[in-house]
Amino acid sequence: MNPTTNPSSSRKDQTLILTQDERLNSNPVEAKPVQESSTIAAIVTSVGGRAGAVGIVRLSGSSAVAIASRVFRPMRKKKRDCGGFDNWRPKSHFVEYGVVSDFQGNVVDEVLAVPMLAPKSYTREDVVELQCHGNDVCLHRVLRACLEAGARLAEPGRGGFSALVKSLRRQCIELLTEIEAHLDFDDEMPTLNCNYLVDTIQSMCRDVDQALETGQYDKLLQSGLQVAIVGRPNVGKSSILNAWSKSERAIVTEIEGTTRDVVEASITVRGIPVTLLDTAGIRETHDVVEKIGVERSEAVAMGADVIIMAVSAVDGWTSADTELLERIQINQKTKGSSAPLVLVINKIDCAPSISMEKFKGEGNPFNKHVLTCATNSQGIQELESAIAEIAGIHQIAAGGRRWTINQRQCEQLVRTKEALLRLKSSILDDLPLDFWTIDLREAALALGQISGEDVSEEVLSNIFSKFCIGNVPLIDGFKELDAHTESSSCQTSFEDMHKDFRSCMNQHNIGEGEKKKLNGLDSTELSEYMLHFDPFAVASSISQSLLPAAPQPRPCRLYFSSFSSEA
């Protein structure tokens, strides 16, 4: 029996491989190992914001065509057998109309496929763009179809960020090496190309900025943006809110002081949730209700992320406006807030030529100014982009970064950015080359902290605080015991000590099993327990139970393995 089963099973294995091979061989395009390809797919048009008419999914890599042919069915070859395994032989830079279907054959979207074959493409690899309907759902389904067909999502998870940080750090170190080599061996080396250095530094700055903006974007996505509209009475604040939110949220009349309370409206700017706060016109008033409204307005303005100050084009810049601006600035100063100010000049339909001279040049308190006419929604678009720019979300929405950064990473990025800015000013100030290295090293140091190439005290203590939770309560407990020994040593009854120990163990997250065991013990047993209590065994058992949920950097896992062998 055995001799027969063995060959048959091995032959079965073989045939399995062979059928696969045969199938692949029958199709020369498919013969490429699609599964292992480094072909990436991504939605390259903006996602999450206002939907465009067209959205694009781009495939790039050696198997871009193969993957595209699995999902894309050109209409002109309708007579051929479809099902995604069509032998699509695209002509480079020729647009083809067709449909994308998922692996089950369901049509997902009608698309235009634009093949750009290597090397005439952005990436110098084969690129296929699928131009779909500009709807998030469509785009994501097309992307999913591509991924199912063997593409890899561009910049998956944190990978993109760590790659960016690593490349930035590498650039820093390359520049450092270059400069330092010149300090020592100037005669023997080609002359240093300062322009190249400056360019590299500029592009590094841009990358860091972008990464920081991504961080900012993440924060905004979570917390949203509060925009307060303030101004004198009757300049059209409520109209702006209505026009912007495309609603009749606020009551608009000709009467000054119509808005008495803060009116909220929620909108989305480039995918970021924005809360608009319409406030009562700020003025000296004796009306009790309006007075409260004014106070509230000021409070709201102080808490907002962006303050829009509305003025009327009809009246121009009045002394009351100056007063109001001063008030805002004083308030900001005392509260230490630095929310950017945007000037909105409303009612431009009534006074088309308004002098803007005042808001140009130095000392202009406003980050941006926008001309609007709220009644016909003119300028609302511009206002939106101004807000987006100020909040730092203008670039992100267009890009496709798919990662988030945490507080620690953000701090180090800021440190990197500051170092690079100082570096730029050193270059501008004509400081000798040697000084460039100081800030480059600083930048490399900061980036190293993110990528884990420099081990800082902080990282290490993080490792311990995050993964050795069991340790801490125990040490606390011992501290209390220490206190006992110091204060009254033998005078303390052992019973008290046990109580302390018990409460200590109960207080902290020791694990149910241990707790039960603990509570069931009598005093002698407890003494025994205390003496034989191995904090590391507990620590590791607790941490082991926590581990699957927590991220596991390599050292930590090693740490525990070393524990269990020792404990």
Partner 1 sequence: MATTTMALHLSRISTHININIRLLSPITTSTQKHLQRNLRFSPNTFRPRTSSFFATTAFRRCPPRPLASTSQDCSYSCETKEERYDVIVVGGGHAGCEAAVSSARLGAKTLLLTLNIDRIAWQPCNPAVGGPAKSQLVHEVDALGGEIGKIADRCYLQKRILNLSRGPAVRALRAQTDKREYALEMKKVVESTPNLSIREAMVTEIILGKNENVEGVRTFFGMNFYAPSVVLTTGTFMSGKIWVGRASMAAGRAGESASLGLTENLQHLGFETDRLKTGTPARVDCRTVDFSGLEPQHGDEEVGWFSFDPDFQIEREQMCCYLTRTTKNTHQLIKDNLHETPTYGGWVEAKGPRYCPSIEDKIVRFQDKDSHQIFLEPEGRNVPELYVQGFSTGLPERLQLPLLRTLPGLENCSMLRPAYAVEYDFLPAHQCSRSLMTKKIEGLFFSGQINGTTGYEEAAAQGIISGINAARHSDGKSLIVLERESSYIGTLIDDLVTKDLREPYRMLTSRSEYRLLLRADNADSRLTPLGREIGLIDDRRWQLYQDKQGRISAEKKRLKTLRISGGELAADVAVLSSQPVKDFSTLESLLKKPHIQYKVLDKHGFGNEILSKEEKECVEIDIKYEGFITRQQAQLKEISHQQHRPLPEDLDYYAMTTLSLEAREKLSKVRPQTIGQASRVGGVSPADITALLIILETNRRKAHDLKRQKMLLKIKEDSEKHVSELAVSQSSTS
Q: Residue numbers of the site for partner 1 (CB under 8 A)? A: 180-181, 183-185, 187-188, 429-435, 438-439, 441-442, 445, 452-457, 459-460, 463-464, 471, 474-475, 478, 481-482, 485, 489-490, 492-494, 497, 527, 530-531, 533, 535-536, 554-555, 558-559, 561-563, 565-566
Pick between residue 284 and residue 566 the one whose CB is nearest to partner 1. 566
Residue 136 CB burial class (10 angstroms; 0-12, 13-18, ≥19): middle
Number of alpha carbons in the 13 Å side-chain half-sphere of residue 405: 26
Pick between residue 389 and residue 480 the one whose CB is nearest to partner 1. 480
Closest distance to partner 1 from the beta carbon of 185 (Å):
7
DSSP string of 325-361? HHHHHHHHHHHT----EEEEEE-TTT-S----GGGSS
Residue 259 CB burial class (10 angstroms; 0-12, 13-18, ≥19): buried
Q: Which amino acid is present at 309?
A: M
Closest distance to partner 1 from the beta carbon of 488 (Å):
11
The answer to whether 229 touches 241, Cβ cutoff 8 Å, is yes
Pick between residue 274 and residue 444 the one whose CB is nearest to partner 1. 444
Closest distance to partner 1 from the beta carbon of 94 (Å):
45
Closest distance to partner 1 from the beta carbon of 168 (Å):
17
- Token output for 257: 């002081």
Pick between residue 45 and residue 437 the one whose CB is nearest to partner 1. 437
Alpha helices in 153-193 (DSSP H): 159-184
Pick between residue 134 and residue 555 the one whose CB is nearest to partner 1. 555
Closest distance to partner 1 from the beta carbon of 482 (Å):
8
The answer to whether 185 touches 224, Cβ cutoff 8 Å, is no
Closest distance to partner 1 from the beta carbon of 409 (Å):
17
Pick between residue 155 and residue 454 the one whose CB is nearest to partner 1. 454
Instruction: Give the three-state DSSP class for 285.
Output: coil
Plot region of 444 (φ>0 → left; ψ -120 to 50 → alpha; else → beta):
alpha
Residues 6+ apart with CB under 8 A from 206: none
Closest distance to partner 1 from the beta carbon of 172 (Å):
14
Pick between residue 48 and residue 452 the one whose CB is nearest to partner 1. 452
Residues 6+ apart with CB under 8 A from 122: 60, 116
Pick between residue 82 and residue 176 the one whose CB is nearest to partner 1. 176
Closest distance to partner 1 from the beta carbon of 179 (Å):
9
Residues 6+ apart with CB under 8 A from 385: 394
